[in-house]
Amino acid sequence: MNLLILAAIFAVLWFSADTIRLIFNSVYQYAGNTIGNKAFMWFSSLLLINLAILLFIIGFYYYKISASPGAVGPRGYPGSTGLPAPPCYDTLSCPA
């Protein structure tokens, strides 16, 4: 499974490398004039925002993995162990 994900990421990067190179070249080519400075500023700020969001998602994932007390079940991450229930004296309302 990891090999399949790695191959998919490599394929996306391989096929979009020309587009990425074109974006970087056009941003840095027009960095000397005023329009280029605005474009470079927008490009840089959006890049930083996207990287911050990506780092937050990765950090939150690792936090959830390390903070969960057990394995992931069918209903998501298990919670902490609760307090023991008080003794049940009424047999009609006691859970089975």
pLDDT at 58: 92
> In this structure, is the dihedral angle defined by the CA atoms of residues 63, 68, 70 and 76, taken in order, positive or negative?
negative
For 76, the 3-state DSSP assignment is: strand
Rounded to whole angstroms, what are the CA distances from 3 to 30, 40, 54, 78?
39, 36, 22, 29
pLDDT at 86 over 90: no
Q: In the structure, what pLDDT confidence band is assigned to residue 32 with cuts at 50, 70 and 90?
A: low
More confident residue, 20 or 57: 57
All structural domains of the chain with their residue ranges: 2-67
Residues 49-70: tens digit of each pLDDT: 999 999 999 999 888 877 766 6
Rounded to whole angstroms, what are the CA distances from 46 to 2, 17, 34, 71?
29, 19, 18, 36
